[in-house]
Amino acid sequence: MNTKTLLLVFFFFTVLNISSAQNKEPEMIKVFGYVTNINNEPIKGALIFIDSVKTNSKTNKKGYYKVKIPSTTKEIAAYSPDHGILSDKYSGENKVSFVFKEGKPLSEEHLVLKMGYVVKKQKQDDSIWYGNYSSILEILENRFPSVRVYNGKILIGKGPNSFGADSDPLIFVDGQRSNISVLTTIPTIEVKKIRVITKGSEAAEYGGLKGANGVILITLK
């Protein structure tokens, strides 16, 4: 093989490697932290923004949040209507916490118009965000307003809608009848889609009176 041919081969593989690197999706990193006030009291319901775009993540009653973000992220911010917004440059760490020193009410309109933030969430596959939760029960409780989880039971809506005391909804995983015990064994990263059907004619189609307490449909990857 002559020198000219060697140079052409080297050039080809160099371009191929550069192209592959450019097309490679950024690594996803799990980030967690706490949002509190100056007295170290948790701030519940604070929204988390990644590079000025709202995510599906928000703090729980302990002020705790967790979110999966691209490794290319430059900034993380926490927003509370009653306390304003705090931002922090991101440099690869796994824990990022925020402490609001004083309350400064800030509307979402102000957040968008005057600060350039995007409140409308980017369209993303829900399965990306499901992996941020520790269990399917946590997903149901945090992502579906009509669902409550307590004492290892799931309640949809106001309460039992059948003549008996049973309040358990119907649960289907990939089209197969399931139960709460099975849900606790499924890794959240394996969940592709979750749909909750509240009480009504649509729920009844899945089992008459048995579907009167609501239906949970789970599709795995």
pLDDT of residue 27: 83
Query: Is the predicted pLDDT of residue 102 greater than 50, yes or no?
Result: yes
Could you report how far apart the first and last alpha carbons of the chain are, in Å?
48
Grade residue 46 by pLDDT with cuts at 50, 70 and 90. Answer: very high
- The predicted model scores a pTM of 0.46
Average pLDDT for 117-123: 57
On the question of pLDDT at 60 being above 90, the answer is: yes
Query: Nearest CA to 127 among 180, 183, 29, 56?
Result: 56
Top pLDDT among 62 and 211 is at 62
Between the alpha carbon of residue 131 and those of residues 73, 91, 165, the distances in Å are 18, 22, 34
The stretch 33-43 carries a mean pLDDT of 93
Mean pLDDT computed over 116-127: 58
pLDDT in tens, 6-28: 555 555 555 555 544 444 566 88
CATH numbers and ranges of domains, the chain = 28-123 (2.60.40.1120), 128-220 (2.170.130)
Q: Contact, 156 vs 201, CB < 8 A?
A: no
Give the pLDDT confidence of 146-202 residue by residue, as tens digits: 888 888 788 887 655 544 456 788 899 998 999 999 998 999 888 888 988 886 667
Question: Which of the residue ranges 2-6, 98-102, 110-114, 136-140 would you say has the lowest mean pLDDT?
Answer: 2-6
Q: What is the mean pLDDT of the chain?
A: 79
Helix (H, G, I), strand (E, B) or coil at 97: coil
CA distances from 43 to 69, 72, 88, 158 (A): 22, 27, 17, 27
**Does the pLDDT at position 101 exceed 80?**
yes
Percent of the chain with pLDDT over 90: 27
